[in-house]
């Protein structure tokens, strides 16, 4: 009976694991819904802002702002990596860290003064393992990053950029493109690139200009540019949070399915072993009886 009992024990423990992975899948599905709503509304905000900047630049005003200008001799840079605090989310952290390590090497050869900032315990541990020590770490961003928490970071970067210690800010995070597609990307947040700011709408709205500006286009621009940076940073955090939930959802779904398969397989082996044992015992009894008959 020893073997059948061992199989039964294994089956029980796999059932327990299956319960855990199934629950985690359900939890991340629920969190994902909320995170997704937030990401979408932040997206709406960013879109409106880009539209506004587009309208501004069409009013004949060349967008000129310190945050938009490339520095002639860049020296200081920062690399911000967004990873998760918890594991069990498939290739989510792996993808981010692989890209981060790559960018880190590239940026190191370009800039004398490079700082590495990492959000998420997994990222910190993973990069340390690769022999890269982060200068600053954040572990307080959970699955719902709040605007005021991100704002603190944004303010720090803007100040450093203004003071001249920081000439470039790059971020490595997982972009949420659709439910079935998230990819680790690296983007330059500062200086804000001119290419991706509201050029798509240029033609659609071209007929409608002649805005009235209160107080003036320049002063609005001066405020709107830092704001669009803050919103982009916030959007990155939200995207990363959504992607994490999706990754965990998929990983846990796969784990649950795997557990189902193993349970089915173990059940079959268990039944077979039990049958084999019964047959064995029967044979022993019969052969014993026959031996006495002779």
Question: Could you say whether residue 213 binds other proteins (CB under 8 A)?
Answer: yes
* Residue 49 or 259 with smaller CB distance to other proteins: 49
Q: Shortest distance, CB of residue 42 to other proteins, whole angstroms?
A: 5
Which residues 133-172 are close enough to bind other proteins by CB under 8 A? 147
**Residue selected from 231, 236, 247, 273 as contacting other proteins according to rule CB under 8 A:** 231
Interface stretch with other proteins, choices 9-17, 46-54, 241-249, 274-282 (CB under 8 A): 46-54
Question: Could you say whether residue 72 binds other proteins (CB under 8 A)?
Answer: no
Q: Which residues pair with 181 in a beta bridge?
A: 178
Q: Shortest distance, CB of residue 64 to other proteins, whole angstroms?
A: 17
**Residue selected from 214, 289, 290, 293 as contacting other proteins according to rule CB under 8 A:** 214
Interface stretch with other proteins, choices 66-74, 90-98, 126-134, 221-229 (CB under 8 A): 221-229
**Residue selected from 220, 262, 263, 266 as contacting other proteins according to rule CB under 8 A:** 220
CB 47 within 8 A of CB 196: no
Question: Could you say whether residue 52 binds other proteins (CB under 8 A)?
Answer: yes
- Closest to 198 in 3D by CA, of 168, 225, 175, 163: 225
Q: Shortest distance, CB of residue 212 to other proteins, whole angstroms?
A: 4
Q: Shortest distance, CB of residue 140 to other proteins, whole angstroms?
A: 17
| Angstrom distance (rounded) from CA 39 to CA 239 | 6
**Residue selected from 20, 227, 263, 266 as contacting other proteins according to rule CB under 8 A:** 227
Q: Shortest distance, CB of residue 148 to other proteins, whole angstroms?
A: 9
Contacts within 8 Å (CB) and 24+ apart, 108-115: 110/74, 110/77, 111/74, 111/75, 111/76, 111/77, 111/167, 111/168, 112/75, 112/76, 113/75, 113/76, 113/77, 113/165, 114/76, 114/77, 114/78, 114/79, 115/76, 115/77, 115/78, 115/79
CB 216 within 8 A of CB 90: no
| Angstrom distance (rounded) from CA 209 to CA 220 | 16
Helices 217-293, 92-110: inter-axial angle, 10-degree rounding: 130
Interface stretch with other proteins, choices 65-73, 193-201, 214-222, 262-270 (CB under 8 A): 214-222
Question: Sign of dihedral through CA atoms 13, 17, 20, 23?
Answer: negative
Interface stretch with other proteins, choices 14-22, 83-91, 206-214, 251-259 (CB under 8 A): 206-214
**Interacting residues toward other proteins by CB under 8 A:** 37-38, 41-42, 44-45, 48-49, 51-52, 55-56, 147, 208-215, 217, 219-220, 223-224, 227, 230-231, 234
């Amino acid at each position: 009976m020893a073997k059948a009992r061992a199989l039964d024990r294994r089956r029980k423990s796999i059932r327990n694991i299956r319960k855990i992975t199934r629950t985690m899948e359900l939890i991340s599905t629920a969190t994902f819904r909320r995170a997704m709503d937030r990401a979408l509304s932040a997206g709406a905000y960013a879109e409106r802002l880009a539209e506004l900047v587009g309208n501004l630049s069409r009013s004949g005003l060349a967008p000129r702002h310190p945050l938009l200008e490339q520095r002639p001799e860049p020296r200081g840079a920062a690399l911000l990596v967004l990873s998760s605090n918890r594991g069990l989310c498939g290739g989510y952290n792996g993808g981010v860290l692989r890209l981060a390590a790559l960018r880190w090497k590239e940026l190191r050869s370009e800039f004398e003064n490079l700082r590495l900032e990492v959000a998420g315990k997994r990222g910190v541990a993973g990069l340390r393992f690769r022999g890269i020590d982060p200068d600053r770490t954040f572990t307080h961003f959970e699955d719902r990053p709040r605007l005021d928490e991100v704002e603190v970071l944004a303010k720090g970067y803007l100040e450093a950029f203004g003071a001249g210690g920081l000439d470039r800010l790059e971020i490595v995070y997982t972009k949420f493109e659709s439910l079935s597609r998230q990819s680790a990307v690296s983007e330059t947040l500062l200086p804000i690139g001119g290419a991706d700011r509201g050029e798509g709408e240029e033609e659609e709205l071209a007929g409608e200009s002649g805005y009235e500006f209160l107080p003036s286009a320049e002063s609005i621009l001066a405020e709107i540019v830092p704001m669009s940076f803050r919103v982009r940073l916030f959007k990155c955090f939200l995207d990363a949070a959504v992607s994490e939930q999706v990754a965990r959802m998929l990983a846990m779904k796969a784990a649950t399915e795997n557990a189902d398969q193993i349970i089915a397989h173990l059940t079959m082996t268990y039944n077979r072993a039990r049958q084999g044992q019964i047959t064995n015992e029967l044979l022993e009894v019969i052969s014993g009886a026959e031996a006495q008959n002779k």
